[in-house]
Structure 1
Amino acid sequence: MKLKSILIAIVFLGLVSKVNAQSQTLALSPPMGWNSYNCFGSAVHEDEVKANALYMAKNLKQHGWQYVVVDFLWSYDNPPGSNIGNPFQKNLQDGSFVPWLTMDKWGRLTPQPTKFPSAFGGKGFKPLADYVHSLGLKFGIHVMRGIPRQAVWAKSPVLGTKGITADMIADTTSKCPWMNHMYGLNMERPGAQEYLNSLLKLYAEWGVDFIKVDDLSRPYSAAEVEGYHKAIQSSGRPIVLSTSPGATPVEKAVHLKINANMWRVADDFWDNWKEILQMFDYAKQWEGIGGPGHWPDCDMIQIGKLSKRGPVGVERYSRFTVDEEYTHMTFWSIFRSPLMLGGNLPENREQELKLFTNDEVLAVNQHGINPRQLFKTATSLAWYSQVPNSKAVYVALFNIGDQQQDVQVDFALLGFNGKVAVRDLWKSQNAGEFAGKYQIQVNKHGAVLLKLSPEN
C-alpha cells in the first residue's frame, strides 16, 4: 500500500509539473480580444478585420485588449445564393465538394482570396497577421477539428511523411454534426500527428498567436486535443489553444489544464437573459479550476452591434438591457472568463466603450484570485475573489429577480469583523466604511462590483 501511494504521488506530481509548465508560458491571465463570429458569421472580410483591429489599437489596447481573431470558414468561397451569415444550412458543400475550399497541396486549408485579398499568391494569413502585429496586437484564427474531406478524396500527401496521404489518417466515422467539411483524425495512425504538426507549422509561419479549435470539446476528443497541444509545442511559436464548443465535460479538467489554455463551459452564448442565468450554473461547476494558463470560457461578450450578416437573428445592437449588460460584464470579470468581444467594434457607442474600458473592473478579471460563489437565493447571487497581495476581496452582487431590490453582503461570510471600506468599481468611487454588512439597491437584472477592504 505504501508503494502504491508513492506511485500515485509521483504520477500526480508529474501531472502538476506538466500543468505548471503549460501555465507559465501562455495566457497567464484570461485572454482579452475580439472575435468576428457574433457580428459577421462565416463572412468576415479582410477590411472588416482590419477596421476592428484598428479600433482596438486606438481605443482598447491600453486597457489590456490584444487578440484579433478571425472566426470560421475563412477558406469558404460563399458562392452566389448561399446564406453567408449562417452556413448551418443544406448545401454548405455538396458531395462533389462544391464549393471547393481553398487548400494547398498538403491538404491544409488556406484563406479564400475573395475574402482576404492579401492571401492571394499563397501568402496565407501572414500579411493580415503582420498588419495586426504592426498595431501592437496579436492575431488568431478559428479552425475545425480534423482534416478536410476534400483532402481525403484527393488523397493529399501529408507533409513530413513518406507515402502517407490524407485518406490514410482520417477517421471517416468521426464527423461534426453541424458542419460537413471535415473528418476527424485517427491519432493512432502514422502520419496523423505529422499532419497536425504541418498545420501548426503553417500557422506559425503566418504569425498566428491564437487558435480556436471547434468541434473538439463536445464530444471531448482527448487524442486530438493532445495532438493540437503537441503540434503547438513543435511549431516553435507560442500559440494559445482554445477548445470549442461546450459544454466541456468537467471531469476532463486535469486533461484540459495540461493541454489547453481555455475551453468552453457552455454552447454558444447569445444576448438572452435566460442564457445568463444558465451561465451562472455552468460556471459554478468549474469553480476553483481556472488559473494561470488554463481558463474556463463562458464564450464571447454579446455587447455592441451583432449579427451584421448572421449568424443568429437580425442585425441589431445587443438585446440585453443596460443593466443586463452590466451583469454580463460583471460576471465574466469576477469569474475570470476570457473576454472576447463579439460586436463590430467600429460601431460601438459611448455605452459600449464605457463597459470595455473600466480598468478597475478589468483588473478583477485579470488579477482576482480563486473566484467562488458566495451565496445564491431565488432572487440574488454573489461571487467573490481575492485581491492579490491584500486582505481585500472583490465581490459581485447580482439581482437576478424581476424587480428592483436591495442586495446585501454580510461581512461575516468573508471572515471580516470590524469596519470595512467599500469601493464601487463600476462607479470608480468609494462608498464609505461599513460594519456588519453592505446593502445596496440594484435594478432588475442588474449588478454591482465592489472591492471590500477590512480595516483589521
Structure 2
Amino acid sequence: MNYYERIQKSIDYIEENLENKIILDFAAQKAYMSMSNFYRMFFALTGYTVKEYIRFRRISLAAFELRRNNTCLIDIAIKFDFESGDSIQNCGRPMVLSLSPGPALINKAWHYEKYANMWRITDDFWDSWPLLKNMFERCEIWQNHVSEGCYPDCDMLPLGYVGKGFGEERLTNFTREEQITMMTLWCIFRSPLMVGAELTKLDKWTLELITNRKVLRLLTHSTGAKQISRDDKHAIWFSRDTEKEVCYLALFNLSDEVAGLAITPGELGFECFKEYVFEELWCKDSINNVEEVLEVTIEPHGAKLFEVSRNILYNDK
C-alpha cells in the first residue's frame, strides 16, 4: 500500500465522521503512521493540514445544508461540531461572533447566548417608521436576554446618506425626532451600534447624534433595562448605571401627534421625585423639584432620555 492509499484511508475515516467527533489518533492509525509522519504526509499529498481539511469540509457541508434545508444556523453549527468555539478561543486575538439568522427565534435564545456574542432580532432594518415602531415589541421580547458579551442586535442605524449599495443614494427618510428615538432605544436596550451610512457625508447634527458620550455610556455602563409600559401611543424604558448612582429613563411618543407623557415615582420604584434631578441627555436641559408626577411634552415619533440622579442641594426640612 503506497502513501496515497494510506492517506486515503484516513480521509475516508474523516469523511465518515464529519458530523461526529474525529479522533486524529484513529485517522493516523488508518494510515499506519505515527502522528508526526501522518501530519507531514497529509499536508504533502493534499496541500492542507489535517485540521484545515476537516474545518473546510465541515464548512462546505454546513453551507450545503443551509441552502438545502430551513434549519437553524445554531443547530447546523452544533451538528458539525462547531459549538466548542475552539477556533475563536485559540485565534490569539479578540473576536466577536455575530449571527444574522434574521430574525432570531426567541425559543433559541439559549443557543445564541451560549455560542454567539450578538444576533440580529429583525429582518433588514430600513428607515421606515413602521419598522422602528415594531422594534419596541422586539426589544420587549428580548429584554431579558441582554448581558455582558451577549447582545440581541437591532441591526444597523440608517442615518445620513443611505442606499448607495442598492442603486440610489439618498438622505435617510427618518425625521430628526425618529433618529433620536432610534438612538435612544438602541442605547438603553444596549443593542450593538453599527452605522449604515456614507460616513464622509455625515452632517454636524448626525455626527453629534452618534457621538453623544452621555448617551453612548448606556451601552457599556448600564444594566437591567426594562420596558415599564407600552401601548400604541407611547413606551417607557428604565435602567440603572453600573458605576454611578444614577438611573436612566427613556420616554417615547409613538403617536403621530405632539403628546404629553407622565410617570409616577412608584412606576420606577421610587418613593418620590423631589430629591432627584432629571437631566435630558439630548437637549441637555434639567428638571428639578418634581412634585408627584414627572410630565413632559414630546414631539411626534420623538423621545426624551433622562439621566436621573440625586439632587445634592435638596433639603427635605
Q: Which TM-score applies when normalising by structure 2?
A: 0.75
Shift of 1:162: 9.2
What RMSD, in angstroms, separates the aligned Cα atoms of the two structures? 2.8
Mapped to 2, the partners of 1:343 and 1:301 lie a distance apart of 8
Identity %: 32
Q: Which residue of 1 aligns with 2:246?
A: 392
Q: Which residue of 1 aligns with 2:41?
A: none
The match for 2:142 among 274, 286, 295 is 286
Q: Which residue of 2 aligns with 1:174?
A: 65
* Partner SS state of residue 65, structure 2: strand
Q: Which residue of 2 aligns with 1:103?
A: none
Relative to structure 1, is the Cα distance of residues 161 and 426 closer, same or farther in structure 2, using a 3 angstrom cutoff?
closer
Q: Which residue of 1 aligns with 2:131?
A: 275
The match for 1:160 among 43, 50, 58 is 50
Q: Which residue of 2 aligns with 1:371?
A: 225
Query: Is contact 1:217–1:246 with CA below 8 Å preserved after alignment?
Result: no
Q: Which residue of 1 aligns with 2:175?
A: 321
Relative to structure 1, is the Cα distance of residues 454 and 415 closer, same or farther in structure 2, using a 3 angstrom cutoff?
farther
Mapped to 1, the partners of 2:63 and 2:116 lie a distance apart of 25
Mapped to 2, the partners of 1:378 and 1:227 lie a distance apart of 41
Decide which moves more: 402-411 or 425-434.
Answer: 425-434
The match for 1:438 among 271, 275, 294 is 294
Shift of 1:225: 8.8
Does 1:409 pair with 2:263?
Answer: yes
Mapped to 2, the partners of 1:162 and 1:451 lie a distance apart of 51
Query: Is contact 1:217–1:243 with CA below 8 Å preserved after alignment?
Result: no
Shift of 1:397: 0.5
Does 1:448 pair with 2:304?
Answer: yes
Does 1:356 pair with 2:210?
Answer: yes
Q: Which residue of 2 aligns with 1:105?
A: none
Mapped to 1, the partners of 2:74 and 2:195 lie a distance apart of 26
Shift of 1:277: 1.3
Q: Which residue of 1 aligns with 2:29?
A: none
Q: Which residue of 2 aligns with 1:423?
A: 279
Q: Which residue of 1 aligns with 2:33?
A: none
CA-to-aligned-CA distance 1:112-148 (integer Å, 9 cap, x gap): xxxxxxxxxxxxxxxxxxxxxxxxxxxxxxxxxxxxx
Mapped to 1, the partners of 2:309 and 2:109 lie a distance apart of 33
Query: Is contact 2:255–2:300 with CA below 8 Å preserved after alignment?
Result: yes
Mapped to 2, the partners of 1:161 and 1:323 lie a distance apart of 52
* Partner SS state of residue 292, structure 1: coil
The match for 2:94 among 222, 238, 243 is 238
Shift of 1:341: 0.8
* Partner SS state of residue 340, structure 1: coil
Which has the greater radius of gyration?
A: 2
Q: Which residue of 2 aligns with 1:109?
A: none
Q: Which TM-score applies when normalising by structure 1?
A: 0.53
Mapped to 2, the partners of 1:280 and 1:175 lie a distance apart of 30
Mapped to 2, the partners of 1:370 and 1:162 lie a distance apart of 42
Shift of 1:226: 3.8
Relative to structure 1, is the Cα distance of residues 322 and 173 closer, same or farther in structure 2, using a 3 angstrom cutoff?
same
Report how many aligned residue pairs link the two structures. Answer: 263
Mapped to 1, the partners of 2:85 and 2:247 lie a distance apart of 35
Mapped to 2, the partners of 1:217 and 1:400 lie a distance apart of 33
Relative to structure 1, is the Cα distance of residues 354 and 158 closer, same or farther in structure 2, using a 3 angstrom cutoff?
same
Query: Is contact 1:297–1:338 with CA below 8 Å preserved after alignment?
Result: yes
* Partner SS state of residue 339, structure 1: coil
Q: Which residue of 1 aligns with 2:27?
A: none
The match for 2:110 among 254, 258, 279 is 254
Does 1:263 pair with 2:153?
Answer: no
The amino acid across from 1:325 in the alignment is Q
List alignment gaps of at least 5 residues for structure 1.
1-155, 178-183, 185-214
The match for 1:345 among 181, 199, 205 is 199
Q: Which residue of 2 aligns with 1:381?
A: 235
Whose helix fraction is larger, Structure 1's or Structure 2's?
A: 2
Mapped to 2, the partners of 1:380 and 1:172 lie a distance apart of 43
Mapped to 2, the partners of 1:406 and 1:353 lie a distance apart of 29
Shift of 1:227: 4.4
The amino acid across from 1:160 in the alignment is V
CA-to-aligned-CA distance 1:19-74 (integer Å, 9 cap, x gap): xxxxxxxxxxxxxxxxxxxxxxxxxxxxxxxxxxxxxxxxxxxxxxxxxxxxxxxx
Query: Is contact 1:218–1:248 with CA below 8 Å preserved after alignment?
Result: no
Mapped to 2, the partners of 1:338 and 1:396 lie a distance apart of 18
Mapped to 1, the partners of 2:109 and 2:63 lie a distance apart of 28
Mapped to 2, the partners of 1:165 and 1:232 lie a distance apart of 13
